[in-house]
Structure 1
Amino acid sequence: MSALVNNIGWMGWNLFLALLPLALARVLFGRRERPRWVLVMGGAVFVVFLPNAPYVLTDVLHLPQELSLTHGNHWLAAALVGQYLCLFATGFAAYVLSLVRLERWLSDHGASRRTVLSVDLSLHALSAVGIVLGRVFRFNSWDLVTNPGGLLDLVRVPQPRTFAVLFVLFVILATGATLARALPTILDRAAKLG
């Protein structure tokens, strides 16, 4: 039981950070027109904080150790898995919904499908980089402002393993976002068949 309670603090913080890009997307890419400088500055903040949403998926690394602490209590283990699944679902949903809002805004402002796809793929790639910076190098989004020198110290020739991790993360984000977008259609078709 203590694992469930102990997780509330850090999971709550990670969910706050995961929902922040969605809130920014709602403000920036809504129906109301924004001044150009607000879109540029807000868009930069949006891109910096966007990786926080899918970052929660990497918190799965904590789950095996926490499951080992349940000492065979299946109800506690199930509750723990449920807690993690809620974290993952909420964070990834925030990621996809943030992208969808941006895509609609771009389309409404005359962007072609190709441009929207390019933006999506670029954001998946940048989010993969952000996840690695956060999970491996322990950087936070605000370190771009509070510790830019520390981030610049990381700029070096990446190892092949780093490219592999970035590629896998990119594929997970792109595939997951595509599947999440298709889910309502799939469920609707399944309901009509049943």
Structure 2
Amino acid sequence: MTRILYLSRNIQRICSIKNEAEKVLFTSCCFSIFLSVVRVLHTGKITFLSLCWNLLLAFVPFFMSRLMTRNFVHIQNKWLFSVLFVVWLLFVPNSFYIITDLFHLSEWHATPLWFDLLLIMSFAWNGLLLGILSIRHIEKMINVLWSVKNDWVLIYPIMFLNALGIYIGRYWRYNSWDIISNPFELIRDIYRIIYHPVQNKEVWLMVAGWSIFLSLLYAGLKKMSREVE
């Protein structure tokens, strides 16, 4: 536990973390990394070490929205903000994608099942929190610029795109970088499921289910945070 706190404090110092909620989040992320290291040392295999990379990708939209929030006075031009918002939107699905790593839970038995469940759940939980906090940053800035009266008008479309991103990443094995490196093939595949919705109904059922769940999760956590303030 001492090593986890030491690692967390060093990361917080490097990233200039002073917010108490962010301190707890960073400590939780360090705990996840600690669990992955323990598994590698115990098994001699790097089976779940990719979770650390996925968590790093989840930090990209969080740090981006955090930086935008801290420098909002310089990006209040709506066109500039819109460009940054689109870039952020391409990366934010990475925060929620870690949930699907639970698919791998029963594939390896080198460690007790409860340990692998704890390992994956801790990464998934931290990814969810990073995504939710990042979306909250963006929501606050959009409300300043455009005064959105209904939260769902903003939140559900974002969560719908997140759910679509989860499907694209898990089943088609695309990632955020493919927007630049392989855009035409990605667009072609997305066009195919839009043009043939009935043949791809399982895709849309998954996207609809996850988008509703993520929207309710976000709304619930936001309401609860207000209740305890």
By how many angstroms is 1:107 displaced? Answer: 2.2
The one of 94, 110, 114 equivalent to 1:78 is 114
| Alignment match, 1:105 | 141
So what's the TM-score if we normalise by structure 2? 0.71
Asked if residue 165 in structure 1 is aligned to residue 165 in structure 2, the reply is: no
Which range is displaced more, 97-106 or 36-45? Answer: 36-45
List gaps (5 residues or longer) in structure 2.
1-38
Find the counterpart in structure 1 of residue 93 from structure 2. Answer: 51
| 1:125-167 deviation digits (Å, cap 9, x = unpaired) | 1111111111111111111111011112212123111111111
Partner of 1:192: none
Find out whether 1:145 has 2:180 as its counterpart. Answer: yes
Alpha-carbon contact 1:4-1:80 (below 8 Å) kept: no
TM-score, with structure 1 as normaliser: 0.82
Aligned residues of 1:20 and 1:49 also touching (Cα < 8 A) = yes
Matched residue, 2:106: 64
Answering whether residue 47 of structure 2 is matched by residue 11 of structure 1, we say: no
Unmatched segments (≥5 aa) in structure 1: 190-194
Contact 1:125/1:170 (CA < 8 Å) preserved in 2?
Answer: yes
Contact conserved, 1:133 with 1:139, CA < 8 A, in 2? yes
For CA contacts below 8 A with separation 6 or more, give which structure has more relative contact order.
1
Q: Who is 2:65 aligned against?
A: 25
Aligned partners of 1:56 and 1:87 also within 8 Å: yes
Output the CA distance in 2 between the equivalents of 1:34 and 1:40: 13
SS in structure 2 at match of 1:64: coil
The CA distance in 1 between the partners of 2:166 and 2:207, in whole Å, is 9
Distance 2:73 2:88 in 1: 17
User: Paired residue for 1:42, among 84, 89, 96?
Assistant: 84
Q: State the alpha-carbon separation in 2 of the partners of residues 126 and 118 from structure 1.
A: 13
1:100-139 paired onto structure 2 within 5 Å: 100-114=136-150, 116-139=151-174
Structure 2: how far apart are the matches of 1:106 and 1:54? 21
Counterpart CA distance in 2 for 1:135 and 1:87 is: 16
The one-letter amino acid of 1:20's match is: V
Q: Is the 8 A contact 1:30 1:105 kept in 2?
A: no
Partner of 2:10: none
How much does 1:4 deviate? 8.9
How many equivalent pairs are there?
Answer: 181
RMSD: 2.3
